Amino acid sequence: MVSGNIFHCRKNSWPPQEYISKSTLQLFDYDSSAPPEQAWRRRLNSHANLLKEFRVTFMEAIKMVRLGIRIWSYVREEASHGRKAPIDPFTRESCKPSASQGVPLGGMGSGSISRGFRGEFRQWQIIPSLCEASPVMANQFSIFISREGGNKNFASVLAPGQHEGLGSSRKPDDQGISSWGWNLSGQHSTYHALFPRAWTVYDGEPDPELKISCRQISPFVPHNYRESSLPAAVFVYTLVNTGKERAKVSLLFTWANSIGGSSHLSGDHVNEPFKAEDGVSGVLLYHKTAKGNPPVTFAIAACETQNVNVSVLPSFGLSEGSSTTAKGMWSKMVKDGQFDQENFNSGPSMPSSPGETLCAAVAASMWVEPHGKCTVAFSLAWSSPKVKFVKGSTFNRRYTKFYGTSEKAAADLAHDALTHYNRWEEEIEKWQNPILKDETLPEWYKFTLFNELYFLVAGGTIWIDSPLLSSNMRNDQDRVRELENTVVKETEDKMSDRKRTVVERIMDSTCDSAVITGHDPADEKLSGDDDADVGRFLYLEGVEYIMWCTYDVHFYASFALLELFPKIELNIQRDFARAVLCEDGRKVKFLAEGNWGIRKVYGAVPHDLGTHDPWHEMNAYNIHDTSKWKDLNPKFVLQVYRDFATTGDLEFGVDVWPAVRAAMEYMEQFDRDGDGLIENDGFPDQTYDTWTVHGVSTYCGCLWLAALQAAAAMALDLGDREFAEKCKRKFLKAKPAFEEKLWNGTYFNYDSGSSGNSKSIQADQLAGQWYTASSGLPPLFEDSKIKSALRKVYDFNVMKVKGGRMGAVNGMHPNGKVDETCMQSREVWTGVTYGLAATMILAGMEEEAFATAEGIFLAGWSEDGYGYWFQTPEAWTMDGHYRSLMYMRPLAIWGMQYAINRPKAILEAPKINIMDRIHLSPVIGGYSHNETGVRKITTKARCFNNSVFHCAC
């Protein structure tokens, strides 16, 4: 845990004043209906200001004009084929981004719907890679209150009436939603967020004598690989009557048959009422998607109890021609507070006509006694069992393993959400409470840590049941499993008998084989264990950069998955391990220079798993040829070793070792002067893909040193002593060369070139040391040098930018001026700042770490910030303009938590320096004449026969 010396940090940087009266909170102090103290909060009447996107400078535009022309041409070409380019800086969404986001709904990988802090449902991501940002304003909760005596009546939508989504004109004769009672001011209503839950407390609105708490719960439960995949959410309303009169209260849940945008107008949509067991009843909304995309079914439901009566209106419309209009529905609720019970027998509605909006409603009515309390729960579920990518590949989503592919599965999901949410909450609280109650942690850090996890739901995530095997792949399965069983058994034997290495035994079992095929544990289903096969998982780099599992960014974000869903993390690494040993010879044009190359080179780690046909067509990124990038392969080795060391999963280590070795061998070509270091090639050949590097760079060089150490350690653990020795030899040669070329006595220079920014202070200069320390390996440099470099970054990149209230700028000249070499050098990268803070924690600089990371909270999440909550961007500029909202890299805040409480496996690692355990044989460099089996395997296994990749081997 963190030491107590951070108490003098600004622990109470979260506004200390109460947003809700203590008396109101006490009324809800049961059944989790009161929001926790450590929750992000906003008043509902807060203005959702429009966000400002960054602009390149005139000189940057001049330098990038040729690239811009090529990207524009590529975007048009993709559009002509009905596809969206993975990076499109020219097309703008019709809905301008605003500071309006809140906690998203549902679990991971089954499509997502976000919910703004003022109650609107927005950011629809049901279809892969497609995000409809505009809210669907017909989707609302409303309340109707009447008291005995009839002199106090209230009817209002539970969202502020001054909402931009409603438009400015409201006609008196309008039959649509503007005819509803938008009477809530939001002045006395507050939103509280602690992902995956949120609370909205209405402190006497619209009825001064009725206190209302709405609790939003989604099944995001760490280490629960079943329920965390479910597309469902629950809204639990707790009502407290502080008046002296009995109150009849009706809550209304309305929903449009829509997946965002203009999809509600496409026609052929059908609604149908349903009644399930346990008092659960509601409406199914069958949505026929356009352009051949798989259909979607929504379910809205409520749970009937002894005191709660549930009724439904299966269909109503927003225009005059509808049999029941939105205005007529509202009038019915104002008058009766419920719908006719005969509606349950109405059967499926007539299909909607093109241009017609079909909606449904569920009402729950109850009596609340004076000074009494009542609870009612609603659920929302959606079922879109098939994932169809643009180029044709179709998969079943993960949740279908438990609920099947029927369109009526939505009703079962809605039912189970209402009957299981109490258990979800118990598990969520058990997970979160140790952190929330840790008094050594700043308040802002606690809720920001959890709320940044929104991206694992709203980041366009796809979670499929299992890979689909073709018939020719199946022929190899017996051989694959025979090999796997042999490897695993002998790996375990190694722990007590080191006379023969794992790799020698692999060779014994494969010496007669022409090709070694790979094994994907996700291809097997182990009966009786739902979590044994966790399927395959994808998440976008960002909703604006639509590439799946972008690996140089996953390097920062992966701590969240490793901490919370380690089996998913290991399977992502297996996907990339298979990719390393594959080659795709199809030609691709790289837009930065206009040259051509092949899509995927053997031995190179791909930038991403693709866009329109993931796993089959990798490297959707085509700005640069990423086979020449210098950070991807070291990042692969470092992540694999960290995951291997953390989980202690020997089977995983054996699975990926051939790829680790191949990835290291691939990098040898970039050591052009034989000093053991890799050199950069005078273009932006790493994750900072507009920031040119010359010679040896502190970023890539440090990653390379760390990868040499990690590969040596992993080789030693798996018995590949020859390769361990080789890596150690290289490391002992490269480390002094790195320090000689880059260490200037205070920090490591940006690169060893002679450009105007070669001596810049890079915030990310110790990324390799971050992973080295995270993995329990010995430090790359002397402790004094590590702390000196971090102190320089803190003093310059952090504190000289708005007094530390914005995070760490990527580049800073030693004279204290921001490096304006390119747009990325002058940006603050949110995820890099969190990674820097994690490095500081591991170096014992906790005060500086939390002050550094607090800048991201202050600029992005605080009330005085720029409004980037639940859409944290990749970057912002000195004036707070963003680039790429809803981005993967800010998940790196979980690297801080990982550093605070490193896993047991890491802490209990052998105390002897891993590099000292590797005793060099009298071989001068290279390999001995008796090479190990892994060397031969990586040469032969250029393509796994059972891989779902398209390979040209």
Q: Mind listing the pLDDT tens digit for each residue in 359-374?
A: 999 999 999 999 999 9
Rounded Cα gap, residues 520 and 719, in angstroms: 22
Q: Which of 421, 443, 438, 1 is nearest to 221 (CA)?
A: 421
**pLDDT number for residue 91:** 84
Rounded Cα gap, residues 145 and 2, in angstroms: 50
Assess contact for 467 and 477: CB atoms under 8 A: no
Domain(s) of CATH 1.50.10.10: residues in the chain: 630-915
Q: Cα dihedral sign for 741, 744, 747, 749?
A: negative
Domain 16-50+97-164+175-441, CATH 1.10.10.1100 — does that match? no
Residues of the chain with pLDDT under 50: 1, 4-12, 16, 169, 468-529, 924-953
Rounded to the nearest 5 degrees, what angle is found at the Cα of 839, between the Cα atoms of 837 and 840?
A: 65
Burial 464-495 (b: 16+ CB within 10 A, else e): bbbbeeeeebeebbebbeebbebbeebbeebe
Q: Which of 491, 831, 885, 490 is nearest to 687 (CA)?
A: 831
**pLDDT number for residue 348:** 94
Rounded Cα gap, residues 119 and 189, in angstroms: 11
Rounded Cα gap, residues 916 and 914, in angstroms: 5
3-state helix, strand, coil in the chain (%, to 5): 35, 20, 45
Rounded Cα gap, residues 847 and 866, in angstroms: 25
| Angle, helices 650-666/477-494, rounded to nearest 10 degrees | 100
In DSSP terms, which residues pair with 540 in a beta bridge? 548
Helix, strand, or coil (residue 713): helix
Task: Write the secondary structure of 154-197 as one string of H (helix), E (strand) and C (coil).
Answer: EEEECCECCCHHHCCCCCCCCCCHHHCCCCECCCCEEEEEECCE
Rounded Cα gap, residues 792 and 511, in angstroms: 54
**pLDDT number for residue 564:** 98
**pLDDT number for residue 516:** 25
**pLDDT number for residue 485:** 42
**pLDDT number for residue 10:** 46
**pLDDT number for residue 15:** 56
Helix, strand, or coil (residue 687): coil
Assess contact for 250 and 337: CB atoms under 8 A: yes
Residue 536 is given by DSSP the state E
Helix, strand, or coil (residue 304): coil
Q: Residues near 885 by Cβ (< 8 Å), separated by ≥ 6?
A: 51, 97, 542, 543, 544, 868, 871, 872, 873
Assess contact for 642 and 636: CB atoms under 8 A: no
Please give the span between the terminal C-alpha atoms of the chain, in angstroms, as a whole number: 49
**pLDDT number for residue 4:** 45
The CB density around residue 29, as the number of other CB atoms within 10 Å, is 11
In DSSP terms, which residues pair with 376 in a beta bridge? 237
Q: Which helix (H) or strand (E) segment is 564 a member of?
A: helix 551-564
**Residue 336, by phi and psi: left (phi above 0), alpha (psi -120 to 50) or beta?**
alpha
Q: What topology is assigned to 630-915 in CATH?
A: Glycosyltransferase (1.50.10)
Q: Which amino acid is it at 870?
A: F
**Residue 536, by phi and psi: left (phi above 0), alpha (psi -120 to 50) or beta?**
beta
Rounded Cα gap, residues 81 and 587, in angstroms: 18
The CB density around residue 91, as the number of other CB atoms within 10 Å, is 10
C-beta pairs of 806-809 under 8 Å, 24+ apart in sequence? 806/855, 806/856, 806/858, 806/859, 806/876, 806/878, 806/880, 807/833, 807/852, 807/853, 807/855, 807/856, 807/859, 808/763, 808/832, 808/833, 808/836, 808/852, 808/855, 809/763, 809/878
**pLDDT number for residue 319:** 86
Q: Which amino acid is it at 349?
A: S
The CB density around residue 328, as the number of other CB atoms within 10 Å, is 16
Rounded Cα gap, residues 600 and 916, in angstroms: 37
What the block records as the tokens of 352 is: 């909607």
Residue 811 is given by DSSP the state E
Q: Residues near 480 by Cβ (< 8 Å), separated by ≥ 6?
A: 517, 518, 519, 946
Q: Which of 242, 198, 236, 235 is nearest to 26 (CA)?
A: 242
Assess contact for 388 and 462: CB atoms under 8 A: no
**pLDDT number for residue 908:** 80
> pTM above the 0.85 mark?
yes
Please provide the average confidence, as pLDDT, over all residues in the chain. Answer: 88
Domain(s) of CATH 2.70.98.10: residues in the chain: 16-50+97-164+175-441
**pLDDT number for residue 171:** 60
